[in-house]
A and B are shown apart, each in its own frame.
Chain A
Amino acid sequence: MDLVQDVLDKQIVDKNGVRMGRVDGLVAEMREGQLPRLVFIETGTVVMARRFGARAQRLMTALLVRLGAARKTTPYRIAWKDVREIGVDIELDVDSDDTPVHDWQRWLRERAIDRIPGAR
C-alpha cells in the first residue's frame, strides 16, 4: 500500500458514516532493516499546518492558544488497528462522539447554534 496515495489526506469516516476529519499526518515506527510500520494516523489543525513547514506549525499553535483552544494543539491519533476498511474513505471502528475531533463543533453547537431558533 502506498501510504501517501492511499492513506494520507483521505477522508476519515466513523462507524456510523459520519465524517470526522482527514488524515493530516501519519505516525510510523522505524524498524532496523525493514520498512517503517504505520502505527497511527493523525488528524488535527496543527498536524495539517506542519505539512507546510515548521514555521507554519508554530504559527498555528500560537493562534490556537491565543483563541483559547489549547486543547486543539494536540493532534488526535487513531491507532491503525481501529481502521476497519479503506475504500473511497477510511472507515473506522470508533464512534466519532467518543473522540475529541468534534469537540469544537460541539462547543459551537452549545454556544451559538442551539441558541438560534430553528436549528433542529
Chain B
Amino acid sequence: MKKLLEISLGVVTSIGGFLEMGEMSTAAQAGAAFHYQLLWTVVLGTVCITFLTEMSGRFAAVSGHTIVDGIRDRFGIKVLALPFVSTAIVSLLVLSAEIGGVSVALEFATGIGYQWWALPVALASWLFLWRGTFGMLEKGVSLFGLVTLCFVVAIIRLKPEWTQVAAAAVPSRPHGQAATYWFMAASILGASLSPTLFLFYSSGAIEDGWDRSYLGPNRVIAALGMLFGGVISAAVLLISAHVLNGRGILDVQDFHQLPLLLVDAFGMWGFVLFVASLGIASLGAALEVALLEAYLFAQTFGWNWGQDCPPRANPGFSLVYTCALFVGAVPIAAGADPLKLTIFSMALTAVNLPLMVAPFIVLMNDEHYMGEHCNGPVSNVAVIGITGLAFLLGIVTLPLQYFGGT
C-alpha cells in the first residue's frame, strides 16, 4: 500500500517535472517551422529518456551507487574528469536557461523586464534549497507542475487531424531548410535527454533509500512518468503547429511569442495558464539543475552530500549549489536572450550526452554492479542508438547553425 502511494507520487512528480524552458522552447520552434513533422524527435527523445531513467533507478537500487559515484568507482578519476567538467559547464548553461524561463514568466506576469528578475529568482531558488528538504522539493514543485497538463487539454480542444499526427511520429526528411530541421531535431533530443534528468534521478533514488524491492515501482514510475511527460511535450509542438505555423508564423525568435500558444484554446485564461506553466516548470528544473551541480561535485570528490541535511552539515555541497545559482543568474541579468540561450544549451546538451551515457551503459552491463539485473539488448540498443543520433546531429548542426550561414 505504501509502495502504491510512492509509485503514484513518483509518477505524478515525474509528469509535473517533465516540461521546462528547454522542452517548451524547442518544441514551440519546431512546431512553428515544420508543422507536425518533427514530432518523431519528441517520440524518440521520450522513449530514450524512459529507458535512461529506468536504468538510472535500477542502477541506484541494485548497486547502491549514484551514476557519477559508479563511474568514478568503476573507471577512475581520469575517465570521469572530462564528463565531469563538460557536464558541469553545460549544466550551468542549462541552469541559466531555466532561470531565464522563470524570469520571462515573471516579466509576463508583472511587466517588469526579465533581467531584473534573474537575481531574485536565483535568491528564491537558493532559499528553497537552503531551507527545504529533498522530499518537499520533489513533491511540492512538481505537483504544482501538473498545471502543464493544460497543454494536453489545449491540443485536444484544437481538434487536430490525429491521423496526420500519428504519421508525424515516424521520422521523415525535410522538404526544405535541411540544416535548420536537423538542428531543431538535435535541440529537441538534447532537451529530452538532459543528463540532469537521469543523473538527478539516481541521486534521488539513493536519497530515498531505494533497494531491490523498488525495482518494480521504478519501472512503473519511469514508464508512466516519462511517457505522460512526453505527451505534454508533444502537445506543445502540436499546438505550435496549429497556432503559429497554421497562421503563417514560421519563426519563433522572440520569447514573447510563446504565450500565444495557449491564448487560442483558453482565451484570457490561456495567458495565465501559460505563465504559470512556464514559471513553475522552469523553477522546478532550476532547483534540480542546481542540486545536480552539487551532486556532481560531491560525488566526484567524495564529499558528504544530502539534501535532507541542514546546510551547515555539508558546507561543500551547499557551496556548490549556491555558487551555481548565482553564477547561472549572471547571463540573464546581463541581458542575454533567454530563448536563444535555451536553444543553444539544449543543442550543447545533445553533444555532451555520450560522455556520460557511454560509461553509464558499460556500468549497466557490468555484473559486478548489477548482478543479475544487467541491461537487456533492447535497453542497450535503444539508448546507444538514440544518444548516438543526438550526438551526431548536434555535432554537425551546431557549428553550422552558429558559425556557418543558413
Contact = CB atoms under 8 A, between A and B. Distances in A.
Direct chain A–B contact by Cβ atoms under 8 Å: yes
Contacts of B282: none
Interface string A94-120: 000000000011101100111010111
A109 B302 contact: no
A39 to B, nearest CB: 21
Contact residue range for chain A?
20 to 34
B316 interface: yes
A119 B312 contact: yes
Nearest to A88: B64
A61 interface: no
A109 B63 contact: no
Contacts of B318: 113
B131 A118 contact: yes
A12 interface: yes
Given A51-B77, A113-B311, A108 B301 contact: no
A109 B315 contact: yes
Contact of B130 (A105, A108, A118): A118
Contacts of B255: none
Contacts of B76: 4, 8-9, 51
A113 B315 contact: yes
Interface stretch (A15-23, A27-35, A62-70, A77-85): A15-23
Nearest to B314: A105
B341 to A, nearest CB: 29
Interface string B127-155: 00011000000000000000000000000
B310 A120 contact: yes
A92 interface: no
Interface stretch (B65-73, B91-99, B108-116): B65-73
B77 A24 contact: yes
B269 interface: no
Interface string A19-56: 11110100000000000000000010000100110000
Interface string B48-65: 000000000000000111
Nearest to B303: A19
A109 B63 CA distance: 32
A108 B81 contact: no
Chain A interface main SS type: mixed
Contacts of B69: 11
Given A88-B64, A112-B315, A118-B131, A10 B73 contact: yes
B326 interface: no
A88 B63 contact: yes
Interface string B327-345: 0000000000000000000
Contacts of A4: 76
A22 B72 CA distance: 9
Contacts of A24: 77
Contacts of B305: 19
Contacts of B298: 19
Contacts of B310: 119-120
Contacts of B64: 88
B78 A51 contact: yes
Contact of A120 (B63, B73, B312, B314): B312
B304 A108 contact: no
B319 interface: yes
B312 A114 contact: yes
Interface in B366-384: 368
Contact of A52 (B75, B81, B131, B302): B81
Contacts of A11: 69, 73, 302
Contacts of A113: 311-312, 315, 318-319
Contact of B78 (A43, A52, A88, A112): A52
Contacts of A12: 302
Given A11-B69, A118-B131, A20 B302 contact: yes
Interface of B: 63-65, 69, 72-78, 81, 130-131, 298, 301-305, 310-312, 314-316, 318-319, 368
15 contacts: A18-B304, A19-B302, A20-B304, A51-B76, A88-B64, A105-B303, A108-B315, A112-B319, A113-B312, A113-B315, A113-B318, A113-B319, A116-B130, A119-B130, A119-B310
Interface of A: 4-5, 8-12, 18-22, 24, 43, 48, 51-52, 88, 104-106, 108-109, 112-114, 116, 118-120
